[in-house]
Chain A
Amino acid sequence: MWREYSADYIKQNRSSGLSIVVAAFIAALFLSFLCSLFYNFWLDNVEGTKMETGDWHGRITGAFHAEDLELIEQFANVEKAVVNEELSGEQKTTVDVLFFNKRTVYRDMEAIRAWFKAAESDVTYNYQLLSLYFIRIPGDSMPRLLMPAYLAVVLIVCVSLILVIHNSFAVSMDSRVHQFGIFSSIGATPGQIRICLLQEAFLLCAAPIFVGLLAGIALSFGTMKAMGMLTAELVGGRQVNFYWHPAVFAGILFLSFLTVLISAWIPANRLSRLTPLEAIKGTAEMQLKKKKRSPILTMLFGVEGELAGNGLKARKKALRTTSLSLMLAFFGFMMMQCFFTLSGISTDYTYFKAYQDVWDVMTTVKDTKIEAFGLTAELKELPGADNTVLYQKAEALCRLPKDAESEELKNLGGVTVFGEEVADDEADFRKVKASVIILDDESFKEFCGQVGIAPRIDGAILLNRIWDSIHSNFRYPQYIPYVREDLDTVVLHRMAAAGEAGQVMDEKDSAKVPVLACTDMTPALREEYGKSDHDLVHFIPLSLWREISGKVGGAEPDCYIRALAGDRTSPEALCALEDEIIKIVGQTYEVESENRIQEKLDNDKMIAGYELVLGGFCVLLAIIGIAHVFSNTQGFLRQRKKEFARYMSIGLTPRGMWKIFCIEALVTVGRPMFLTLVLTIMAMAVMIKASNLNALEFIRVAPVLPILTFIFTVFGFVALAYFLGGRKLSKCELAKTLRGDSMSE
């Protein structure tokens, strides 16, 4: 009988179930998408770990022979035992063991160890891999962050979905309080009413949950494929596969049903606890509990504004899901748009625009000293390159006479004024941090020409500028000269040999370097000079570095090749140049390479990917809100028939009724929009301040158009929902309604 009642109700009130169906679909879609994605991330992590650490669970070292290997494989739980050639020597052999059941790895390895009478230290475990299977064994201190993080996110999402969609059920159930009062009066127990409502929720949601689940899996498949395409083009990227397992499907199905049934249980339980008297007396017509005023609406729209305000306040609880969903959707969308805009400005400043003219292809030659690099001549002859520079960076200390500081710096209070660690070693000298950029000789000579001096390779060119961080911020830096223009020599010291204040440094750790020029010009390299710790930047030719490197040291492990292409605008030309460099250098050295245009394209793709995922989430939230408005307005006939009949009986025209609906639609969208706009503006003001950006610069490129499009689209749908609900209401017979007869929906 209950099933018949529910089935009849669902058949006769399809529109009332719309928001529930949409909410269930979205819940299942979202959970399915998230869980599938996490499952894939987890397996990808397992695969990555296997590649990094090897595919083994336990490892035993000893004097093993071929027959011992067979013996190990005969242990019941052992899947495979293989000799690790890399770790094995003549005396000892290391055997990697894989088990069928990983949970007993510790017990089984102990048994193997005991059999071969090996020492405890001969057995090791792949803690990193085992931790991903949630296996903890003695001695394992690997943190297990991944799964708790996934579980926490899924839990938060489930709770959020319950909070959002339980109102959809509440609206449908509350509209039938009277009917359940009748059931109760003729003997239905609270439990029967609860079960009936949950059965109904199940009937309504089974299909959308199933479809949502499949759609979520399809969406996660698409996302993984998109990520695969993206990472395949990135440096160090590896193939991304899509994994699926029936157990995951069953888990998601269970989770989706649980989420939806808990959402249904909350209002069902509340409704079942009403006494029959409360339920029978209760009316679907929502009323104000106490007097409320809507001064702004009254002022703006007159009496219709006041009536609309009262109508919205009376249905405040029923519209809570709408408000919450729209608020989250607007906030998410606005923040996302503003954040990516701000981030774009910042990236342009610090990366793309800042380095637009100084590199096209950057190649990092791993673990190679510049003086040992032997392919400079070949690189200089590259056909597709306009200019190629080989360089390396080193850290040192520079011993400067105190009176070598520029007048501008002295006026500010000397280099110590910026709070950097500077030690005075003698009364008239101080040691400051020095960045050393070692250029290949040819490039150094070119830089000499750029600076306006005769090309030489027996001295350093100083970057004569220091960031005045007192009078400017990092976003808009102002520089002042660091040293006097006539400085002729500097002494560079080994960084590691830096002594205490007052200590004279050993000559074997220092080198006197002639200064060829002090300039505020820089060679075209993808480097940010002297901004982080107010260091004095030295450009040094490779020949000079060969002489002093033994004394100064401090070179970074890698050296770099910066190439400018002949055709700087064509992605194909840059890719060809990149391939050419890798072809020349990659045979001898380990290299990593970047390409300016590709980097920009990858960055754009990544942001577009983020926008797609986050934007999709915002759209889902907006759909929940809109579906809820539709559900509400489709119930107008039942909820507001009497309210409008009363208004019209005292002279409200149909035009007035439509005006009320327009105001309500406006407020339904306008209020969450306004609140989130204020919140977004406040959040962005904080972010703009934190990033030291000129607010006007952000305002000029503020994402007004996408935000307005989003808002107007949502408003369009809400207005449509009110139009359809209002049309139903306008067809209602006034006299019949006012008689207060018992009527079905």
Chain B
Amino acid sequence: MPELNTSSLPDLIFSILFFFMIVTSMREEELKVEFKAPSGTELSKIERKTSAINLYIGTPNQSYAKQLGSGTRVQINDKFIEVYEVGKHVAEEHNTMKGDDKANMRVVLKVDAGEGTEGRRRPSTQMGVVSDVKEELREIGALSIMYSAEYDVKRNEQ
């Protein structure tokens, strides 16, 4: 029986490897606040990841709770910011974008909806902070927003 020629195997593997290297986006911010998305039914997908600016709003998670306490905080990229600075930081991010991304910028609000049941429950973020952030965004004209959420599997099956 002739031996199977495996000399092209490395090339094959390499091409799959390149595919995954291109698809992978390594830039993921480190999550510094507690975040559990609410669930909904009327959701759409984000068109392009590169035109999105993520704003996390929630209480600092375990590694930061000691320094920062349990008040609601806003995180953009890797840092905590104050609510009144949101406009400035989003505008900065907007300026670093190019072409289509710049025109189609969308601010993704990742607001913590809380989790758990009564007793050991982490309450949801209050609307006061969320409204203040929205006012900040209106101020700089960043009007396209998205409330980050997950599909409500139970309701979609009904």
Same complex for A and B? Answer: no
